Structure 1
């Protein structure tokens, strides 16, 4: 088995996330990551969140997990953050699974991750990536809030284990920057159903953000 791209599922997740986040600000990143997670039909979505983090990203991933009948797990640093996160998410109608604790502790129980999003502004973001037990179907890994400077200095190969292979990586100027990596594990590959894939760029007229979606 391997990750297979479905543009139809991605489009539906994108539209549903737009609807869910329409009254919130900074939603363009949420729409893009939702489309990515749904389009790859991911089954275990893991994200990190901390106080004052943008909640729309979580809403987008929750929408995607609903589309794929997958599991959505959010990792927070402590119980206070857990309480605040659940309060914010409850207003959206979504309640993901939430785990609090140190990276080594929480990541030990998560196996088969095929989509993971971390915040590059946090000092421990690379630790989460190094500890991730990726799916044998491959995985999509994303660092949000990644400036072009961060992207140029951050090396994906430095956080991948010996059983993982970097297929490609790309920096997307969406929101405050997304550094995206497509990873194959155990000799597997990422597939787009035999069809040639391409990146589609869309400019949000209201915010000016550039949205880039693989189709």
Structure 2
């Protein structure tokens, strides 16, 4: 199985997020991410947050969870962050699950993540991406506040996520929305090998090419 896009779910989540985020007087990133999570029918939505971070994106993810009937989990580094996050989300009428601790500690119980949002301002954001146990049907990965990451740097991050195993990077893109979003779509497990087996046939060789600027992975048959 693969991630399947639903335009209707995405539109509904977008509208609901616009209404929910009015109390924060911010818009743009939250609505976009909410629509994406709902559109992909994400069943396990995970985000990272720390003290002083913005809340609208989290509200958008909580809205998306309502539309997909899935699970929304926020990972915070300490109790101070937990208290602040919980308080701010309560103002919007939201109460997602909150896990406190280091990525390696908390990610163990989060199996099958299909939508992951990390804050690029956190020093451990790349580590979170690498240790995440992604869904077998594929996943969407997002780095918010990404203006501080160079395009070359983002390409390296995405490649490191799919360096081991049978996954491949389907597509990655940078969007100048808010403080910048680096986004990537990772294939279903086994997608890389199965595609070569089905499409290649005898007498054909598949060559993997990585675009150094965008990080996109292309498979060329010879």
TM bracket (short chain): 0.7 to 0.9
The alpha-carbon deviation at position 94 of structure 1 amounts to 0.7
Match of 2:115 in 1: 115
Q: Is the Cα–Cα contact under 8 Å of residues 2 and 188 in structure 1 kept in the other structure?
A: no
Name the SS for the 1:118 alignment partner. Answer: strand
SS at match of 1:182: strand
Mapped contact 2:166–2:191 kept (Cα < 8 A): no
Is the contact between residue 118 and residue 142 of structure 2 (CA under 8 Å) also seen in structure 1? Answer: yes
Displacement of 1:54 in angstroms is: 0.6
Q: 1:97 maps to what in 2?
A: 97
| Pair 1:184-2:178 in alignment | no
Quote the offset at 1:122 in angstroms.
1.2
Contact 1:41 1:68 in 2 (8 A): yes
For the 8 Å contact 2:2–2:188, the answer to whether it is kept is no
Given candidates 156, 162, 165, the residue that maps to 1:162 is 165
Is the alpha carbon distance of 1:170 and 1:91 closer, same or farther for their aligned partners in structure 2, counting shifts above 3 Å?
same
TM-score, normalising length: structure 1? 0.85
TM-score (norm 2): 0.82
CA-CA distance at 1:24 after TM superposition: 1.4
| Mapped contact 1:136–1:188 kept (Cα < 8 A) | no
More helix by share: 2
Question: Which shows bigger deviation, 143-152 or 53-62?
Answer: 143-152
Q: Is the 8 A contact 1:17 1:31 kept in 2?
A: yes
Equivalent pair of 1:78/1:101 in contact (CA under 8 Å): yes
SS at match of 2:24: coil
Q: What is the aligned partner in structure 1 of residue 62 from structure 2?
A: 62
CA contact (8 A) 1:5 1:40 kept: yes
1:67-90 residue CA offsets vs partner (Å, 9 max, x unmatched):
000000000001111111111101
Q: Kindly provide the CA deviation profile for residues 70-116 of structure 1, in whole angstroms up to 9, marking residues without a partner as x.
A: 00000000111111111110110010000000111001110000000
- 2:156 is aligned with 1:140: no
Q: Secondary structure at the match of 2:3?
A: coil
Count the aligned residue pairs: 189
Cα displacement (A) at 1:188? 4.1
Check whether the contact 1:148–1:171 (CA below 8 A) recurs between aligned residues. no
4+ residue segments displaced more than 3 Å: none
For structure 2, the residue ranges without an aligned partner over 5 or more in a row are: 193-222
Separation (CA, whole Å) in 2 of partners of 1:109 and 1:163? 22
Q: Distance in 1 between matches of 2:80 and 2:120?
A: 21
CA distance in 2, matches of 1:33, 1:188: 25
CA distance in structure 2 between the aligned counterparts of 1:3 and 1:136, rounded to whole angstroms: 10
Matched, 1:15 2:15: yes
